[in-house]
Structure 1
Amino acid sequence: MAYELYRAAGLPVLQNRTFADAATARASASGDMLLVQDEHSGLVHNQAFDPDLLSYDSDYQNEQALSPAFKAHLEAVEGVVAKHFSGRSLIEVGCGKGYFLEQLRGHGYDIVGIDPAYEGDSPDVIKAPFTRDSGLTADAVIMRHVLEHIRDPLSFLAEIAAANQGGLIYIEVPCLDWILENRVWFDVFYEHVNYFRIEDFRRLFGTVLEAGHLFGGQYLYVVADLASLRQAPLEPGPRVLMPTDFLHSIEHAVQIIQAAPERGSAIWGAASKGVIYSLFLQRAGVAVDQVIDINPAKQGRYLPLSGLRVSSPEEARLTLPEGANLFVMNSRYLEEIKRMSDGRYSYHAVDTHSF
């Protein structure tokens, strides 16, 4: 049995895939969200998830390391890695474009990576999904923002533990508690089938060496002993309580845009949060004039389902009026966004409860 928490229809199946034209973007694949908590495991997942709808390739763009704020986050992660994994051989499962892997290698770590969306030519990265047959073993495993994408996270962790014959693991995922506390409904999307709390990992592993929060509480992390992975959590854990006002900020954003349409409006951030936010605003009857992103791989391309075009900060500056309403998808980037845009807009950090 599972307890229903939240549902949403027609979400992009890969919100970080961009398209060459608006028509193709609007016709891209969609799926439904039925967020539930399993009464036996206590884990939260999308019961309507269909993994066959997902296919990661070079059109999938989720590189965040262009931001100074995110680079600072990766330095914090490296601090945790150094504390527990110094001198150990490492595997990064789901290494993405390889930025963090290269950062660790630059600091002397013996590390290899694996990811089907990898675009580089490093001999230390396998361009494929991780399986037990990948032939990779090391003293420790790093897995950042992967487990939320896996339909059966327990089986996947067991696969890693068996393939690696134990060792330590660093896991980093979005924090469900932060999403709920700040009413960040736009951080719930199809590509993330699982949503975790720290207590979930304390029930999954018998030995957790360290656990905490990073990136202003948005992410949680654990360092655990793979050999202590349990076949099932010891107990369900506490029930997840959805805020009754979880979606309240949609109406607030609509009011801001409709109150002064001549001022213009834009979203800063064309990654997951911005894709969902812009789509829901569009469905609520309003549309922003711009979606802005600093990632050159996204600029000039179009977002799934909404069909909105992504502008560079320089392009937006030429067309977006001074004083326009700018909806900032991630408050961790707010100060650098203000600096990049010379403080010329009216800024709204939409991932704060006060918005």
Structure 2
Amino acid sequence: MGSAHCPICDSASVRVLHARRDFPVFQNVAYATAAAAQAAPTGQLDLCRCDACGFVWNAAFDPALMAYDGSYENCQSHSAVFGRHVGEVMAAILDRLPPGERPDLVEVGCGQGDFLRGLLAAHGDRLGRAAGFDPALRRPDPDGRPVLVAGLLDAAALAASGLRPGLVISRHTIEHVPDPRAFLRSILAAVRTVDGVRLVLETPDVDWILRNGAIEDLFYEHCSLFSGRALEVALATTGFAVDRIERVFGGQYLLCHAHARGTGEVPPAPAEVPMDPALAGAALDRKTAALSRSLARLAGEGTITLWGAGAKGCTFALLMQEAGIRPRFAVDINPAKQGRFLPKSALPILSPADARTAGADHVIVLNPMYLDEVRALCRQMGWTVPLVGIDSLTA
């Protein structure tokens, strides 16, 4: 099982939460052919949970299997709902800047630079220079605004950019890192010449996942899943002090504001209390059983299609196949995914227009945050298909 101690708080009060075998290591890589998708590399999932801080990690995670490159596609900017969320995150970041301060900023794990470009376009008058770092970056731009670097942030790369950042942003990156405390220390080491640098982290809230039985949110890429308390402890023990942790995007994500020059000690009275250990596994088991019953009922009424070809869609398609039910196809509004295939299940990915032509008896919308948006799009297309919110399947 790997370490018997929590990687965040070092507690020995650890239990196995969820295990899977032969699981695709990348959920956000879609393949050009069904054969290539079926041959996608796989790994082992042994998710452990710390009773003390609520941290969840894959004890069987193998970093050697992970090579993020230009084939990785996780763009969500095609959704207006997600766009509004991004705007709210930008506003939350700016609200905490002291009046008159225009800090340089860096983003660690910037994807293709969409967030940085949007932030500068909307609020460039309140910010200094900007740079983004990501090994999966397809189009590096060393002279742009922002500067985009295809690689990891370190002191040498930061020095080459010429920035002295007062603000570091890292959204939906730390959950991909097998040693999150080393990751946080590396950020601090890279920006060590700047006093009181601010850090903004956004990451999934594992307590939301467990409370809602969202088994489709447990997959290989996310090897480090945080509760609010686990994030608080991780930051406090790596040189940061937490200013605020809030829940955003319908409670699915943690948005954390912190600053460097913490005491290095864990706060004795936690501002964040993790989910009761006795409830965490039970909630997941109960919701999974309810999901199996609902899927069997839907399959008896006709074909099932999935809306969403990201990590949730990849994971859910495999769960259905393991239950003996094969979805007909997946639908996604991201053109970069359309015409391709999900890893391992080899489920074809269609555009909404092609899905309407192909037809479906039931469409499961895999993220409840998008249900109204999908409903409006189907209405606009004249596609009268029953839409099923995934949360209704586990009620």
Is 2:20–2:45's contact at 8 Å kept on the other side of the alignment? yes
Extract unaligned runs of 5+ from structure 1.
Answer: none
Shift of 1:39: 6.5
Structure 1 equivalent of residue 7 of structure 2: none
State which of 257, 261, 267 in structure 2 corresponds to 1:227. Answer: 261
State which of 139, 143, 146 in structure 1 corresponds to 2:173. Answer: 146
Counterparts of 1:208 and 1:187, CA distance in 2: 26
Extract unaligned runs of 5+ from structure 2.
Answer: 5-13
SS in 2 for 1:257: helix
Matched, 1:212 2:242: no
Structure 1 equivalent of residue 137 of structure 2: 118
Shift of 1:115: 0.6
Matched, 1:289 2:358: no
Counterparts of 2:348 and 2:315, CA distance in 1: 14
Q: CA RMSD in A?
A: 2.2
Structure 2 equivalent of residue 179 of structure 1: 209
Normalised by the length of structure 1, the TM-score is 0.92
Structure 2 equivalent of residue 164 of structure 1: 191
Counterparts of 1:199 and 1:93, CA distance in 2: 22
Structure 2 equivalent of residue 199 of structure 1: 229
Deviates more, 1:130-139 or 1:235-244: 235-244
Give, as a single letter, the amino acid of the residue that structure 2 aligns with 1:111.
A
Structure 1 equivalent of residue 34 of structure 2: 22
Matched, 1:130 2:153: yes
Q: How does 1:226-305 map to 2 (within 5 A)?
A: 226-228=260-262, 230=264, 240=277, 241-242=280-281, 243=283, 244-261=285-302, 264-305=303-344
Normalised by the length of structure 2, the TM-score is 0.83
Shift of 1:111: 1.5
Structure 2 equivalent of residue 13 of structure 1: 25
Shift of 1:233: 8.1
Counterparts of 2:206 and 2:214, CA distance in 1: 10
Matched, 1:47 2:88: no
Runs of 4+ that moved beyond 6 A: 231-237
Is 1:140–1:169's contact at 8 Å kept on the other side of the alignment? yes
Q: Deviations over 1:6-52 (max 9, x none)?
A: 11222110010011100111011111111113467653211000011
Q: Deviations over 1:62-97 (max 9, x none)?
A: 000110000000011001110124621110000001
Counterparts of 1:281 and 1:310, CA distance in 2: 16
Distance 1:201 1:345, change over 3 A: same
Counterparts of 2:311 and 2:197, CA distance in 1: 32
Give, as a single letter, the amino acid of the residue that structure 2 aligns with 1:287.
R
Counterparts of 1:275 and 1:161, CA distance in 2: 34
Q: Deviations over 1:215-252 (max 9, x none)?
A: 00010111001221738787997564322314224413
Deviates more, 1:102-111 or 1:151-160: 102-111
Deviates more, 1:135-144 or 1:215-224: 135-144
How many matched pairs?
351
Structure 2 equivalent of residue 335 of structure 1: 372
Give, as a single letter, the amino acid of the residue that structure 2 aligns with 1:101.
L
Distance 1:103 1:27, change over 3 A: same
SS in 2 for 1:275: helix
Counterparts of 1:164 and 1:350, CA distance in 2: 42
Distance 1:232 1:11, change over 3 A: farther
Counterparts of 1:20 and 1:6, CA distance in 2: 31
SS in 1 for 2:319: helix
